[in-house]
Structure 1
Amino acid sequence: MKNQTEATYQFVKQKILDGTYKPMQKLIETQLAESVGVNRNTVKKALMKLQQDHLVVIEDNRGAMVKSFTLDEVIAHLEIIEVLDGLIAKSAAQNIQESQLLELAEIMQGMEADREHNQVEELVMLTNRFYDLIYESAKNQTAVSMVQAVRTPLWRYHFRTLLLPGRKDESIRGMQNIYQALKNGLAEEAERAIRTEMYNIRSIIEKNYTLLF
């Protein structure tokens, strides 16, 4: 049952993050149960977990819906992420292992291939793994725990920027700068590179919020 709850949680979470389930969209338990192949009780448990992640809102007599954020809320959260990501990247540059650098290099190669073939979904998954590796390599796990709590409900806003013309190229360049700083063990440069990337994401969302969402 626990595995079914986790599978349901991951299914709905991915649909929210990739934009399949839109902000304010109602999440019907019977429909979700049928889609995943589980019972409604399992769906309820998964939705409660998603509520803890601030991805879903559950209201009495109204059920669950995808949580929506105002532009001001999104910008405020991204400002926090920028600062925390900077601390994490600085720590990662001083502690990252060779195996993690090799995986980051493979991710960058995969991103180039996905860009050539316009594979946005694959690029999103690689971007997610790119940041996960940085978080895993950082010694400052307090900052990691804090940023993950803030970042999770906002991933869908980040990812949708990749749909804008030229944004995929800009994003890959930004992550290439982060990777090079980590590879060379340049803590200050890694902090600056990741904060620049987060600033760019925030600026793009601020300028294109109504278009994207």
Structure 2
Amino acid sequence: MKEYKTKRAMIYDVLKQEIYDGVYKPGEKLTISKLAKRFGSSDIPVREAINQLQSDNLAIVKPHIGAFVAPLSLKDIKNIFEVRVEIEALATRLATNNMNKEEIEKLQHLIDESYKALERHDFDKLESLNIDFHMGIYRQSNNDILVQLIQDLWKNGNRYGSIFKKNDKHNILSLKEHEETIRYLQEKNALKAEEAMLKHTSRVMEEVLELIKKDIKQIEEKLK
């Protein structure tokens, strides 16, 4: 019995993370037989893992049709970003006075590496560097609750994050905004650093909402 429960928990953990990472896209079908083969299990632990994902609002199970990755509604994404905009700006302000020369240099290195990744069109690396940059600031807030909340919101909202991967205009502008934030952090100007992060995340929110409107509508129609 213990081994069975472990298999179910493992399948759940893997699928949950892959949904957050965008491996399984909103609206994509989760075929039980294929997943059972992938994980080397019977259908039962897969089905129960999917039921658990459904209770987390990460999957939709339609009787006689199958299971699908649950989409986030436009309202859900807007709500997530509205909170993110405020608390990421707060974390930046709190981090300002804790930033030493070494931390600033780490952030600048991440930006330098981001430009190189952009030149190589290595968009997966660019996305990873972007996360490292933001979290590198927020962790300096010395507020673990705030950092954990930001990470949880990123995980949930990032299911549509890949829409920017190949958007050079967005990526270049984001790097310029990152540089602006670093400048204020270096100057120990907490209010300006907060304002720069607020401007950056607000712009990203508006672009995300505009880009995914059509996708969400199509997915919701498919799942009716």
TM-score band, normalised by the shorter chain? 0.7 to 0.9
**Using a 3 Å threshold, how does the CA distance of structure 1 residues 167 and 4 change in structure 2: closer, same or farther?**
farther
Could you tell me how far 1:48 is from its partner in structure 2? 7.5
- The residue aligned with 1:149 is 152
Provide structure 2 residue ranges, at least 5 long, that are not aligned to the other structure: 217-224
Q: Considering only aligned residues, what root-mean-square deviation do their CA atoms show, in Å?
A: 3.3
For 1:1-40, what aligned pairs fall within 5 Å after superposition?
12=15, 15-35=18-38, 37=39, 39=41
**Is contact 2:16-2:58 (8 Å) kept?**
no
**Between the two proteins, what is the percent identity of the paired residues?**
21
| Alignment partner of 2:59 out of 54, 57, 60 | 57
* Matched residue SS, 2:97: helix
What is the TM-score with the length of structure 2 in the denominator? 0.75
What is the TM-score with the length of structure 1 in the denominator? 0.78
| Alignment partner of 2:70 out of 23, 45, 67 | 67
Could you tell me how far 1:106 is from its partner in structure 2? 1.9
What does the per-residue CA deviation read over 1:27-68, in whole Å, with 9 as the maximum and x for residues that have no partner?
234433544x5546776787688668x572365967753221
| Alignment partner of 2:166 out of 158, 163, 166 | 163
CA distance in 1, matches of 2:82, 2:41: 40
**Is contact 1:160-1:212 (8 Å) kept?**
no
* Matched residue SS, 1:118: coil
| Alignment partner of 1:127 out of 117, 125, 130 | 130
Q: Which residue identity does 1:169 align to in structure 2?
A: I
Provide structure 1 residue ranges, at least 5 long, that are not aligned to the other structure: none
CA distance in 2, matches of 1:109, 1:46: 41
Task: Report how many aligned residue pairs link the two structures.
Answer: 211
* Matched residue SS, 2:68: strand
| Alignment partner of 1:81 out of 59, 81, 84 | 84
**Using a 3 Å threshold, how does the CA distance of structure 1 residues 98 and 167 change in structure 2: closer, same or farther?**
same
Q: Is the aligned partner of 1:186 residue 2:189?
A: yes
Which runs of at least 4 in structure 1 moved beyond 4 Å after TM superposition?
Answer: 1-11, 40-52, 58-64
CA distance in 1, matches of 2:209, 2:72: 13
Select between 197-206 and 181-190 the one with higher mean Cα deviation.
181-190
Could you tell me how far 1:113 is from its partner in structure 2? 0.2
CA distance in 1, matches of 2:99, 2:53: 31
Larger radius of gyration: 2
Could you tell me how far 1:149 is from its partner in structure 2? 2.6
